[in-house]
Structure 1
Amino acid sequence: MARVLHMPEVAAGALEAVLQTWGVAAGVPYAKGEVIATVETDKAVVEVEAEEPGVLLRTLVGEGAAVTVGAPIAVVGAPGEPPEAAEPVLAGLPASGGADRPAGVAGAVPAGPPPAGDPPHDASAPRSQPEPPAQARPLPEAPPPPRAPGSGGGSRTPPRVFSSPLARRLAGEAGLRVEDIPGSGPNGRVVRKDVEAAVAARAVRTTEERAYTEIPHTRMRRAIAARLAESKRTAPHFYLRGTARVDALLALRAQLNRGDLRISVNDLVVKAAACAHARVPAMNVTWSEEAVRAYRQVDLAVAVATEAGLVTPVLRDVAGMTVSRVAAVMREYGERARAGRLRQDELEGGTLTVTNLGMYGTEEFAAIVNPPQAAILAVGAARRQPVVDGDAVVAASVLTVTLSADHRPVDGVVAAEWMKVFLELLENPVTILA
Structure 2
Amino acid sequence: MYKFQVKNFPNGLRLLMVPSKESLSFQITTLVNTGADFETKNLNGISHFLEHMCFKGTKKRPTNLDIAKELDRVGGIYNAFTGREYTGYFVRVAKEYQQLAIDIVSDIYLNSQFPEAEIEKERGVIIEEINMYHDDPKSYIDELWIKLLYGNQPAGWSIAGTKTNIHQISRRDFLTYHQQQYRSQSTLIIVSGNFKTREVTNLIQQAFVSIPRGKAKNKIKAKEKQKQPQLIFEKRNIDQTHIILGVRGINIFDQRRYALNVFDSILSGGMSSRLFQLVRGKLGAAYYIDSGIEAKTDTGYWAVISGLDSKRVELILKEILAEWQSFKKIPVSSQEMTKAKEFMMGQMALAFEDVHKIASFYGTQLLLKKKIENYQEYLRKIKQVTSRDVQKLANDLLKPECLNLAMVGPHSTAKQFKKILHI
**TM exceeds 0.5?**
no
Structure number with larger C-alpha Rg:
1
Bigger relative contact order, structure 1 or 2 (CA pairs below 8 A, ≥6 apart)? 2
With normalisation by structure 2, the TM-score equals 0.18
When normalised by structure 1's length, the TM-score is 0.17
